[in-house]
Chains A and B, each alone.
Chain A
Amino acid sequence: MAYNPLSEAEKTFILHGVQDDFRNDGRSRRDYRPMEFETNVITSASGSTRFCLANSDIIVGIKPEIDVPLSNRPNEGKIDFFVDCSANALLDFEGRGGEELALEISNCLRLAYSAAESFDLKALCILPKHQCWKLFVDILILQCSGNLYDAISFAVKCALFNTRIPRVSSALLDGGNVDLTLSDDPLDCDRLNVESAPLLVTTCRIGDQCVVDPSTEEEICSTGSIVIGVSQDKVTLLKTISGSFHPETLENSIDLAVNTALKINTKLLSALKEEEKKIGPSIRHHKSSFLM
């Protein structure tokens, strides 16, 4: 992604490291870099999170709006993803450079979340055929250090967990017009079920082996990469990003991704619940500043 010049020797070093199951930073092929997240960071959004995967920094804000459901799906709400690659992240993203990547990532998210079992859109329905919630998921990439798909999907899951949708206390259909009454109490909200929200895992083929969570340098050395969306134990998306795979390598990558995603899912959900229990739904008060 970034223009990061690597010499042949460096590339060979990375290749050998992967073969020996000991990457540049000491990880095995199956390890992720350390992750940190904080939810409820943006007061104006109904759900938000700031997610850091090593040096990658992603901010996700979710806003619900009231919309009319699609005519062929009257009982479902809508969810819309928008990715914004800030020029701060990579020089390549300056101007319209990041548009293609942003579109690809948002497409992947849209496809991964399209299955009913992974994200239940029926929970977003207010009044069938007339009103539903539309969630706008806005993702901002502040810093990129490889493996954007994964970081963004984890961040989206955290933000969805954090989202509080105002509870509709009554909805009246009055001659074609809908009269909605939302609850007055700002803390009286509905939460979303994100147990099976899909996680995207990128596996890269470097040499003969597959690795998860490639860093920027590893991405440059890779001969093929594929994004796998996993929801619980089912696969919800498979998409080649670049390169080609041998059928056996492909199977190994998918197995690796599914196993890793399952573990991350449990850890992520427990961390989210713990954060909520400890800090609660209150707005964060930072001692020094927002990003520091």
Chain B
Amino acid sequence: MPFDQKRINGPESSLLYTQFIDNDNKFQGKNLYSKGKRVDGRERQEHRKHAFLLNTISKAKGSCYIENGNTKIICAVFELREIPRISKYSEKGQIYCDFKYAAFSRRMRKSNDENEEKLMSTNIRTALESTVCLHEFPNYQIDLYVMVLEDDGAVLATAINGSGLAFIDASIQCYGIITSTSASIINGEIFIDPTSEEERLKNDTNKSKSANLTLSSISSMDQIPQVFFHGLADLSLIKSAKEKILDTNKTHVLYFKKLLSNKIANVRA
């Protein structure tokens, strides 16, 4: 189980060399936010530049390639098929989500952490189950494949954004445009759209009470289909992080709508 039997694995006891280097002090402690700006020059509430491209995979019914800073994710939605292996008729359709990290995407070469991938799959599926009109295709299943090409933080949020857009590209009826943002709570302050170093801060320095919150919302209907938080934080901080994320999501919807309508205009022309 710990090793992927289908791949040739490197030696069992190989280690990442970076843990033998003295951690440069960029992310340890004060330099992160003392001057009001983060290491990459952003404000605390500032989101990274992001872009997406639809219909990148010609064979898929709908697809989206989304970039969020350095995080690159590709999502593809395939044709409907009957739900395999069920005995009774299901009145609602189902979504099957398969989430994978490319072996080169993270700091450590694929550590075969199936648990992590399954967790992400369930989160994405939960988010989309409330977005997509499942009653439109009873007894059918839509396959969604998400592949992370590079992980530089906010992977879940970017993946949900990309998946929502892929469904729209596939012309599958949805209740609204789902947008998602991640926030890190480090030492009592909220940082929107953390990079992977900012996210990792919580793992290495246990003293800082940092945590990570990803929240998706369908702003047009004022619904939150998915929330995922882990770490340790005060309730009040989580609430204010939630408010900030909801505002960020709202602004993103306008941006997505604009680009989607451009795409439709181009298709028509």
Contacts and interface: CB of A to CB of B under 8 A. Distances in A.
A114 B15 CA distance: 22
A237 B212 CA distance: 10
Contacts of A258: 235
A93 to B, nearest CB: 15
Interface string A92-122: 0000000000011011001110111110000
A244 interface: yes
Looking at chain B's contact residues, the main secondary structure is mixed
B231 A115 contact: yes
B235 A250 contact: no
Contacts of B119: 107, 111
A200 to B, nearest CB: 12
A272 interface: no
Given A72-B204, A234-B233, A117 B223 contact: no
Contacts of B126: 240-242
Classify chain B's interface size.
Answer: 35 or more
A125 interface: no
A110 B115 CA distance: 10
Contacts of A111: 119, 230
Interface residues of A, number: 38
Interface string B215-246: 00110001111111111111100110010001
A177 to B, nearest CB: 16
A72 B222 CA distance: 42
B227 A237 contact: no
A112 to B, nearest CB: 8
Q: Which of A3, A116, A117, A255 has the most CB of B within 10 A?
A: A116
B230 A247 contact: no
Contacts of A231: 232
B95 to A, nearest CB: 12
Nearest to B202: A115
B208 to A, nearest CB: 10
Nearest to B118: A103
Given A72-B19, A251-B239, A244 B130 contact: yes
Contacts of B15: 71
A246 interface: yes
B122 interface: yes
B98 interface: no
A247 B209 contact: no
Nearest to A114: B230
A239 B218 CA distance: 17
Contacts, number: 99
Given A107-B119, A235-B238, A250 B227 contact: yes
B160 to A, nearest CB: 12
Given A71-B15, A234-B235, A250 B224 contact: yes
B19 to A, nearest CB: 5
A247 B224 contact: yes
B181 to A, nearest CB: 14
B230 A240 contact: no
A58 interface: no
B229 A103 contact: no
Q: Which of B229, B230, B246 has the most CB of A within 10 A?
A: B230
A246 B204 contact: no
Interface string A79-103: 0000000000000000000000001
A116 B208 CA distance: 10
A112 B242 CA distance: 19
B143 interface: no
B230 A116 contact: no
A236 interface: yes
A246 B232 CA distance: 23
Contact of A240 (B209, B213, B227): B227
B223 A235 contact: no
B169 to A, nearest CB: 22
B206 interface: yes
Nearest to B226: A240
12 contacts: A3-B88, A114-B230, A115-B231, A118-B232, A235-B229, A238-B230, A239-B227, A240-B123, A244-B223, A246-B224, A251-B242, A258-B235
Given A114-B231, A244-B223, 5 more contacts: A71-B15, A103-B115, A115-B231, A240-B228, A250-B224
For the complex of A and B, 5 pairs with smallest distance between CB atoms: A238-B229, A116-B206, A244-B225, A115-B232, A244-B130
Interface of B: 15-16, 19, 88, 115, 118-119, 122-123, 126-127, 129-130, 204, 206, 209, 211, 213, 217-218, 222-235, 238-239, 242, 246
